[in-house]
Structure 1
C-alpha cells in the first residue's frame, strides 16, 4: 500500500534526507576508536556495500565475561552478471585471509561477501576492492542492487546481447553521488582520504547529484535481472524488474518486461507476502534502459516511505493493480508500450560440470556448497581455487546457484584442471548429487543479524541424509530444488523452490512445497514449526508419495502443487509406515 501524503516518513527516510547524499557522519566514525558505527550511519553504510554484524555464537560467553559483542563488518561487491577476472578472484581470496575471517561467500545474486572485517580495516578492504576495478557501492541499500543474468559463457549473439544489457542496466541505474569515493578511496600520492566536508560545498544542485534517485533514493531495495526464455538460472520472476529476451533468428528483438517480484515476508504481518513478477509489457532493445528508469521512477515517487515492511515495489503493484502501474510507467516514458509477446520460460541450467562455449573452448562449473569458500581439515577448497586460478588465468563467473564457473579452458587443460581438484580432495561436480547441486542456503547464523535459526551450516547435514533416502527410492536423478533460509526474508529465493525450509523459530522451520525449478510459481505452506529432527522424515514421506502417485514425468513441484496442502498431508500420512520400514532398512545397511 502506498503511503498517504500525510503519512510521516519512517526514520530511515529521515536519515537519508539528512545525509547529504549518503555522507552522514561516517567520516567521523571512521576516525573514532570505537569498535562500532553510530546507529544512523549503519543505515547509510548499506549503500556503501557494508553491514555491521557480530558473532552471535560468541554472544553468551562474551556477556558472561562482561564484554561487548564481537562486532565486525560484512562487505559485499557489485559484480554485474558475476563476471570476474582471475586477478580479481585471487585478490578476494587474499582479502578474506588478510582482513576477513578466512572465508568468503558467493551469494545468490552472483557476487561476493566478505565477513569478519573489523571496523579499523573497513576502508583498507574497500580500497583494495576498488583497486581491482570493482566496487562495493550500491551492493546494498535502497537502490538498484547487483544486476543478474545467465552466468554461462556462450559464444552466441543472444548471449552477448543479454550480457550487454546487464552491463548497461548496472551503469544506468547506479547512484551518482561522489560521496562513496570521497569517503573511502585513498589518494595514492598523499595517502589521504578524500574528505566529504571539503567537497560538499562545491557540489552541484541536488537534481544534478542524483538525477535518477533524488536525495532520499528509493523506499526500499530494488533488484533486476536479464534472462533468455530457455534458461532462467537468474530467477527472473523473483526480481522487482526482469527482462526476458524475445529471440527471433538468433537475435534479441526485444524483451518481455516483468515487474513486482520479491521474496521477503514477515509472518506476523499479514500485509506482507512473497510475490512472483507479473508480465507488464514488451519493449525493444533500444527502449530497455528507458523502461528500467521509468519503472524505478514510479517506485521512487509512489512506493511506501512510511512503513519499510511494505515498501518494496510488489506492494505498490498489489495496491494499484498492474494496469495502473503500467500507465504510470508509460506516463514517465511519454509513449505507450506494446503488450508482452507469447514467450514463456521453458528451461533452467545450473551450468555445472563441463560445458562447451561454442568457440572451441570449455567452461567448468564447480559446485560450491551454499557458496562458502573455506579450507577444512581434509578438503582444501581455497588452496585448490588459488591453484586453479593461477594455472588458468582466465575469466571466472559467479553462478546464481552460489557456485563458480571457470571459462575459456582449452581441451588439453581439462585433465590438469581436474587433477588440481582431486589433489586437494575437493568434491567435483560429477561427484556431487543433483539434489545437492540444486540446493541453496543463505548465510544465517552466526553473522546475519536477522537470522532466527541455522541455514548454511545446517543444510549440508540435511543433504547427507536426503541423498541416502533418494538413492534408496531411485529418485536421485530427479531434478528439483531445496532451499533453506534462516528467516522469512528469503535471501535464498525459497518461495519459488520445489521445497523450501524457512526459519520460523530456533531449530524450527516453515515447510513450503509446490514451487517449480523454473522459478515461475510460488509454493504454499505444507507444515509450520517443523523441528530439525522432523525435516528428513517429512521430506521423505513427500518423496514416497511422489514416487507412488506422480503422473508420468511430472516434477516434484508440480506434483505437490496438483495435490494441494490437504491432499498432500493425507498422502504423506499414508506413507508413514513405509517410511518407518525404509528408515530401519537404511539404518541397518548404513550409508551406501
Structure 2
C-alpha cells in the first residue's frame, strides 16, 4: 500500500479530525508561535498554553515545584513556574570544558543547582526561570551545543552503546548517532531567531523530512552493539543492531527494528507497551536512507487525530508490519535481507576501570538516578566531577542508564582521578549490584505528569530490597528494577524484571517477569498497592527464587518459569490478559 492509497482510505489530513496539538503545530509558523512575545511578558513566570507546547520543540518543558504549589496558592501566588531544559547530545559525549560551563551555570542560575543525567544519554537542568532562558541557550551555542528537538513531536536525542572510544566499533556507532541526529533536525530557523537573536531572513522555512506539521508524536532512535543491550533497543521507534566483521574491524550492517514504545494510559486498554519488530538486515551505508524512510512513513501514516495512538507502534498495528516494511523499502530504494544472527547477554553498564584498545583508561561511575549534586555532605559528587573536569584531557560520556564515564584517561592521570574521587567520597566500591541495576525517572516535585514519587523514593526502597537479597544470600546477584512516577515509563520500567509505575502518592502498580537482557515486557502482578505490599510480595518471590532457581537463572526468568506470571508475548492483545 502506497502513501497515496493509505491516505485515500484513512484521511489523516482532514482538519476536522486533527487533534489540538496538530492544529497548534500547523499554525505555529514553523515552531515560532508567540514565544518571543511571551518571553517579554513579566506578569507570569510561564508561557501561554500553545507556547508551553511549542517550547518543547526547542528542548524545554514548562513545570512548577509541586512541593510548594499549595503554599503558594494560599499566598495568592501563581505556582513556582520554571523550565526544564534538555541538551541535544547524540551518543552522550561531552567535553570537560563544556561540562564545567554547564556546572557553573547550574550553580548560578537554576533553582536546584543540580545536573540530571537522563535515560536518553544526555543531561537536563531543572529550575530554569524564564528570564534566564536566553542566557542558557546562548551558553549552549557558545559551547557548540543546543537543545533543539530534545522534546516535542520530532526525533529525540539519538542514543548508542556507551563509550565509543573503547573500540573502533563504538566510535563508528557514535559517528552514526551524530549523523542521524543532524539529518533529522528541524530546519526551521525559529530556535536561532528566538533564543540566539539571529537575524530574520526573507527565505521561507521548509521541512523536507519532518513537514510543517512535524511528526505525529515523539520518535526515538537507538543503536546497540551486541552482546550488550545497554540502550534497551526494543523501547525505541527505530533500532539498529550492529553486525560487525572482526576481520576488518568494521561494522558492516545493521538489523533494523521498528515500532518499540513503552508508554500506556491507565484505564485505556487500547494503549500498551510493545517491543520493536524485526524488519530485516541492511548494509551499513544504507542507514540514513532507511532512517529517513521510516520517519517519513510514520510522518504520513501516523495517527494525527488521537495522540494516545500516534506513536509508531500503533501505526504498525493498524497497517501491519508487512505493509509498513514494504513502504519503507519503496521510499528508501533499499531491500531488507534476512536478520543476521545476534545475541544479547547483558544490558547494564560496566562499572570501574576498563582499558580500551587505544591504551587509554575509561572509568564508569555509578550516579544514583542520574542526579549530580552536592546534597550529601559525605559524597560531594558535583564538586568532585567538576574538579576532575579541570584536569581531564579526554571526554565525559553519559550512558543510557544515567551513569557517567570518565573516558580517555592516560595511565599517568589515572591515579590523579582516583585521588579526587576518594577526596570527595565518590568511589563506587561500596555500591551493591542491586543498586547499580536500579533506576528511576525524575517524577515529583518537578514533573507535571508524576502521580507518585520515583527518584526520591528509590534510594531507601533499594536499601530494603538489598536487605531482602542479603537475607536470602543473594547479595552478589541483581534484579533489573525500575520505578516511574506515571505510566509513561521514562525509566523504561516496562522492560525491567521488576517494574513499578506510580498510581497515586505512596501507591504503585507492580509488574513482574521481564528479563535481564531487555527483550521481554513484564506483566501486571498487583495494581495500586503500597510499598509494604510490594516488599511483602518481593520478599516472597525472591525467597522462592533463591530456593528454586536453576543454575544462574535470573529473577525475571524464574517468575515466568514458575508460573508466578505468564510471559507477555509481543502482542497488543496479550498485555492485559
TM range (shorter): over 0.9
DSSP 3-state at the match of 1:429? coil
Give the deviation of 1:79 after TM superposition: 0.2
Cα gap change, 1:4 to 1:532, in 2 (>3 Å): farther
Corresponding residue to 2:99 among 89, 92, 101: 89
1:365-444 correspondence to structure 2 within 5 Å:
365-376=364-375, 377-426=377-426, 428-444=427-443
Confirm or deny that 1:26 pairs with 2:35. Answer: yes
CA distance in 1, matches of 2:447, 2:268: 21
Give the deviation of 1:69 after TM superposition: 0.5
Corresponding residue to 2:189 among 174, 178, 183: 178
Corresponding residue to 1:194 among 185, 198, 205: 198
* Stretch deviating more after TM superposition (9-18 or 474-483): 474-483
Structure 2 stretches lacking a partner, 5+ long: 1-5, 568-577
Note the alpha carbon deviations across 1:348-381, whole angstroms, 9 max, x for none.
3402211111221111111010000111233211
Cα gap change, 1:284 to 1:118, in 2 (>3 Å): same
1:65-104 correspondence to structure 2 within 5 Å:
65-100=75-110, 101-104=112-115
Q: Is the 8 A contact 2:232 2:347 kept in 1?
A: no
Q: Is the 8 A contact 1:365 1:429 kept in 2?
A: no
TM-score normalised by L of structure 2? 0.93
Give the deviation of 1:339 after TM superposition: 2.4
Cα gap change, 1:519 to 1:365, in 2 (>3 Å): same
Note the alpha carbon deviations across 1:301-330, whole angstroms, 9 max, x for none.
000000111100000011122111101111
DSSP 3-state at the match of 2:521? coil
Corresponding residue to 1:59 among 63, 69, 79: 69
Q: Is the 8 A contact 2:164 2:173 kept in 1?
A: no
Give the deviation of 1:282 after TM superposition: 1.0
Give the deviation of 1:334 after TM superposition: 3.1
Cα gap change, 1:336 to 1:180, in 2 (>3 Å): same
* Stretch deviating more after TM superposition (514-523 or 20-29): 514-523
Aligned to 1:138: 149
Aligned to 2:273: 274
Structure 1 stretches lacking a partner, 5+ long: 186-192, 569-592
Give the deviation of 1:342 after TM superposition: 2.2
DSSP 3-state at the match of 2:387? helix
CA distance in 2, matches of 1:224, 1:116: 28
DSSP 3-state at the match of 1:430? coil
DSSP 3-state at the match of 1:72? strand
CA distance in 1, matches of 2:190, 2:314: 31
Give the deviation of 1:473 after TM superposition: 1.5
Q: Is the 8 A contact 2:439 2:481 kept in 1?
A: yes
Cα gap change, 1:335 to 1:403, in 2 (>3 Å): closer
Number of corresponding residues: 553
Q: Is the 8 A contact 1:153 1:357 kept in 2?
A: no
Aligned to 2:571: none
Aligned to 1:16: 25
Q: Is the 8 A contact 2:513 2:560 kept in 1?
A: yes
CA distance in 2, matches of 1:456, 1:264: 18
Q: Is the 8 A contact 1:153 1:363 kept in 2?
A: no
Give the deviation of 1:415 after TM superposition: 2.9
Aligned to 1:489: 488
Give the deviation of 1:237 after TM superposition: 1.0
CA distance in 1, matches of 2:58, 2:140: 12
CA distance in 1, matches of 2:328, 2:380: 51
DSSP 3-state at the match of 1:431? coil
1:103-502 correspondence to structure 2 within 5 Å:
103-185=114-196, 193-194=197-198, 198-199=200-201, 202-204=202-204, 209-249=206-246, 250-376=249-375, 377-426=377-426, 428-502=427-501
* Stretch deviating more after TM superposition (12-21 or 404-413): 404-413
TM-score normalised by L of structure 1? 0.91
Note the alpha carbon deviations across 1:85-135, whole angstroms, 9 max, x for none.
001111111111111120110000111110111111111111111211111
Give the deviation of 1:413 after TM superposition: 2.7
Aligned to 2:570: none
CA distance in 2, matches of 1:8, 1:353: 53
CA distance in 1, matches of 2:565, 2:280: 37
CA distance in 2, matches of 1:57, 1:103: 17
Give the deviation of 1:173 after TM superposition: 1.3
Give the deviation of 1:11 after TM superposition: 0.6
DSSP 3-state at the match of 2:98? helix
Cα gap change, 1:327 to 1:116, in 2 (>3 Å): same
Q: Is the 8 A contact 2:165 2:407 kept in 1?
A: no
CA distance in 2, matches of 1:107, 1:345: 23
Q: Is the 8 A contact 2:19 2:305 kept in 1?
A: yes
Give the deviation of 1:423 after TM superposition: 1.7
CA distance in 2, matches of 1:261, 1:56: 32
Q: Is the 8 A contact 1:511 1:527 kept in 2?
A: yes
Note the alpha carbon deviations across 1:220-242, whole angstroms, 9 max, x for none.
00000111111111111110000
CA distance in 1, matches of 2:116, 2:95: 17
Give the deviation of 1:552 after TM superposition: 1.6
CA distance in 1, matches of 2:188, 2:556: 45
DSSP 3-state at the match of 1:53? strand
CA distance in 1, matches of 2:239, 2:298: 15
Q: Is the 8 A contact 1:523 1:561 kept in 2?
A: no
CA distance in 2, matches of 1:24, 1:231: 43
Cα gap change, 1:419 to 1:240, in 2 (>3 Å): same
